[in-house]
């Protein structure tokens, strides 16, 4: 076992890490990232890594972007903090709200700012409940999410998340949150079942759950256009059309969680555009500021906004908000970040470089360990399976993913291991040449793990 450095020892002693095995961490310590530049980050030992996950699905414009540093500095000097409670506001939050609503071309009417996607989805749950109380529908409160969906980790948003690790021993999910089938065609389709037929069955599963719970009790459906932390699961053809039809049939709100897919990740400004989703509520974060500042937004259409606004007039206030809702530095950085995405054509780059990424990974489909390659734009995944014919997974889960994740570091590559699936979500600035370099590093790491397994 390697001796921990002083910084690693201090980290182990004083910090509890998210999504980390705290016992294992005591022996191996952290990899300490010291600085970033473009699509690369550097650790405190001088090692350089191509950051194929953009941090946590986040950094659209790359690391070390001087314009975002300057935007933050200017705002810090002018107004480092103010709130948006009780009829107060400031220029950056107004401008960003206007910009976001403008992006939706009239589909959304109002923006509410939070500090994270988890808080945003927590807000969404409260807003849905508030909305139905305003409409005198006190029983219509249940929200349906999906198995393997990811919507955050607060008590409420963590309940909507459909991953066991986020529920186990946290006493989640809450009673009003239900889960329907995960639309993963590769693992969920029956023999000979087409994508369209599978999508129909997924919609039927949703409708069956609604009828079981009672349509008068079900308020909304929430889903990511492409599921991220659950394994980069791309919906089968016609899925979203059929899911939305069920929601409209039972007067349910449609919530698009665009925390990962917003601002170009799929080669379109929003994932909703890619899949013809017409949401009543959109949730945005991560690439909204490239995560240089904590920032998220909930966008609501006029149907929801008019009811919420009117009810706040009846009650005397909309009794919800955060100290840093619409924080001036965060919203100033968000504005500049979106300006950079526009000026540098990063949505189009995601579409073009994304085609290269998808093809380069699909070219690896013949590898003995590779089961499925999937993705859209600049988000993708390679899933390793024990048996390619039957799609049988490895037992235990992580047999290949964990060592592959570690081995990638030796090739100067940071990826995300989701069980035995390796996820890719590089900064939107990545070039075609850099995509080939990224995939090449991954291919070498995969070969290393395969050879070690055979030895």
Q: Look over the chain and give the mean of its residue pLDDT values, rounded to a whole number.
A: 98
pLDDT given at position 193: 98
Q: How far apart are CA 362 and CA 378, in angstroms?
A: 14
Structural domain harbouring 424? 31-61+345-454
The answer to whether residues 361 and 213 belong to one domain is: no
DSSP letter for each residue of 239-284: HHHHHHHHHHHTT-EEEEE-TTTTTTTTSSSSHHHHTT---SEEEE
pLDDT given at position 379: 98
Residue 4, domain member (yes or no): no
The answer to whether residues 189 and 297 belong to one domain is: yes
User: Using H for helix, E for strand and C for coil, what is the string for 135-161?
Assistant: CCCCCCCEEEEECCCCCCCCHHHHHHC
Which of these three, 343, 365, 399, is where a domain ends? 343
**Average pLDDT over every residue of 424-429:** 98
Residue 156 scores a pLDDT above 70: yes
Residues facing residue 216 across a β-bridge: none
Residue 17, domain member (yes or no): no
pLDDT given at position 275: 98
For residue 50, which phi and psi values (nearest 5 degrees)?
-80, 115
For residue 421, which phi and psi values (nearest 5 degrees)?
-110, 135
Cβ atoms of residues 146 and 223 within 8 Å: yes
Nearest to 284 by CA among 27, 94, 101, 28: 101
**Average pLDDT over every residue of 240-252:** 98
**Average pLDDT over every residue of 352-376:** 98
**Average pLDDT over every residue of 414-420:** 98
The answer to whether residues 129 and 235 belong to one domain is: yes
Residue 1 scores a pLDDT above 60: no
Q: How confident is the model at residue 449 (pLDDT cuts 50, 70, 90)?
A: very high
- Residue written as token pair 């039972």: 250
Residue 359, domain member (yes or no): yes
CATH assignment at residue 400: 3.90.1150.10
pLDDT above 90 coverage of the chain, percent: 99
Which of these three, 308, 343, 378, is where a domain ends? 343
The answer to whether residues 79 and 216 belong to one domain is: yes
The HSE-up count of residue 160 (CA atoms within 13 Å, CB side) is 28
The answer to whether residues 207 and 148 belong to one domain is: yes
Residue 213, domain member (yes or no): yes
Residue 146 scores a pLDDT above 80: yes
The answer to whether residues 384 and 330 belong to one domain is: no
Q: Which two tokens stand for residue 238?
A: 């016609």
Angle between helices 346-362 and 432-454 (to 10 degrees): 30
pLDDT above 70 coverage of the chain, percent: 100
Number of domains in the chain: 2
Nearest to 332 by CA among 106, 19, 71: 71
Residue 239, domain member (yes or no): yes
Cβ atoms of residues 153 and 161 within 8 Å: yes
Cβ atoms of residues 239 and 183 within 8 Å: yes
Q: How far is CA 349 from CA 188, 194, 356, 374, 396, in A?
A: 32, 32, 11, 19, 38
- Residue written as token pair 């659209």: 60
The answer to whether residues 330 and 373 belong to one domain is: no
Does an H or E element contain 298, and which? strand 296-300
Residue 292, domain member (yes or no): yes
Which of these three, 305, 322, 343, is where a domain ends? 343
The answer to whether residues 354 and 215 belong to one domain is: no
Cβ atoms of residues 286 and 257 within 8 Å: no
Distance of CA 440 to the CA centre of its chain: 25
pLDDT given at position 276: 98
Task: Dump pLDDT digits (tens) for 373-403.
Answer: 999 999 999 999 999 999 999 999 999 999 9
Residue 22, domain member (yes or no): no
The answer to whether residues 106 and 214 belong to one domain is: yes
pLDDT given at position 41: 98
Task: Dump pLDDT digits (tens) for 162-212.
Answer: 999 999 999 999 999 999 999 999 999 999 999 999 999 999 999 999 999
pTM of the full structure: 0.97
Q: Which two tokens stand for residue 251?
A: 């007067």
Residue 323, domain member (yes or no): yes
The answer to whether residues 213 and 324 belong to one domain is: yes
**Average pLDDT over every residue of 231-244:** 98
CATH assignment at residue 298: 3.40.640.10
Q: How far apart are CA 185 and CA 192, in angstroms?
A: 11
For residue 313, which phi and psi values (nearest 5 degrees)?
-65, -40
Task: Dump pLDDT digits (tens) for 270-286.
Answer: 999 999 999 999 999 99
pLDDT given at position 455: 81
- Residue written as token pair 């024990």: 386
pLDDT given at position 171: 98
User: Using H for helix, E for strand and C for coil, what is the string for 326-385?
Assistant: CCHHHHHHHHHHHHHHHHCCHHHHHHHHHHHHHHHHHCCCCCCCEEEEEEECCEEEEEEC
pLDDT given at position 48: 98
**Sign (positive/negative) of CA torsion 201, 149, 166, 173?**
negative
The answer to whether residues 360 and 276 belong to one domain is: no
pLDDT given at position 148: 98
The answer to whether residues 180 and 95 belong to one domain is: yes
């Amino acid at each position: 076992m390697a001796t921990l450095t002083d910084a690693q020892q201090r980290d182990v002693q004083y910090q509890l890490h998210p999504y980390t095995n705290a016992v294992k961490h005591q022996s191996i310590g952290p990899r300490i990232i010291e600085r970033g530049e473009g699509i690369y980050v550097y650790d405190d030992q001088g090692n350089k890594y191509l950051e194929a996950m953009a941090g946590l699905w986040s950094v659209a414009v790359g690391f070390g972007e001087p314009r975002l540093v300057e935007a933050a500095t200017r705002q810090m000097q002018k107004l480092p903090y103010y709130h948006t409670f009780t009829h107060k506001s400031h220029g950056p939050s107004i401008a960003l709200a206007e910009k976001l609503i403008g992006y939706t071309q009239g589909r959304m009417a109002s923006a509410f700012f939070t500090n994270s996607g988890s808080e945003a989805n927590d807000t969404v749950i409260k807003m849905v409940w508030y909305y139905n109380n305003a409409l005198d529908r006190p029983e219509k409160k249940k929200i349906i999410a999906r198995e393997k969906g990811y919507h955050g980790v607060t008590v409420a948003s963590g309940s909507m998340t459909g991953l066991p690790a986020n529920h186990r021993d946290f006493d989640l999910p809450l009673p009003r949150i239900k889960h329907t089938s995960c639309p993963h065609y590769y693992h969920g389709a029956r023999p000979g079942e087409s994508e369209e037929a599978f999508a129909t069955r997924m919609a039927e599963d949703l409708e069956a759950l609604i009828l079981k719970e009672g349509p008068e009790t079900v308020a909304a459906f929430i889903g990511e256009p492409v599921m991220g932390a659950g394994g980069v699961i791309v919906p089968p053809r016609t899925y979203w059309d059929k899911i939305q039809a069920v929601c409209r049939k039972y007067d349910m709100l449609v919530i698009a969680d665009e925390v990962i897919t917003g601002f170009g990740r799929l080669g379109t400004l929003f994932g909703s555009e890619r899949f013809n989703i017409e949401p009543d509520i959109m949730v945005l974060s991560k690439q909204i500021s490239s995560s240089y500042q904590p920032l998220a937004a909930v966008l609501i259409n006029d149907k929801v906004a008019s009811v919420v606004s009117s009810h706040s007039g009846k009650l005397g206030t909309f009794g919800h908000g955060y100290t840093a809702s619409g924080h001036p530095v965060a919203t100033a950085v968000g504005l500049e970040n979106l300006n950079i995405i526009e000026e540098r054509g990063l949505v189009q780059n995601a579409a073009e470089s994304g085609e290269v990424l998808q093809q380069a990974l699909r070219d690896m489909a013949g590898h003995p360990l590779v089961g499925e390659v999937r993705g859209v734009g600049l988000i993708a995944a390679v899933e390793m399976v024990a048996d390619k014919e039957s799609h049988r997974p490895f037992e235990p889960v992580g047999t290949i993913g964990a060592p592959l994740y570690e081995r990638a570091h030796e090739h100067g590559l940071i990826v995300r291991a989701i069980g035995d699936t390796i996820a890719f979500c590089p900064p939107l600035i990545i070039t075609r040449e850099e995509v080939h370099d990224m995939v090449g590093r991954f291919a070498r790491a995969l070969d290393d793990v395969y050879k070690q397994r055979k030895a």
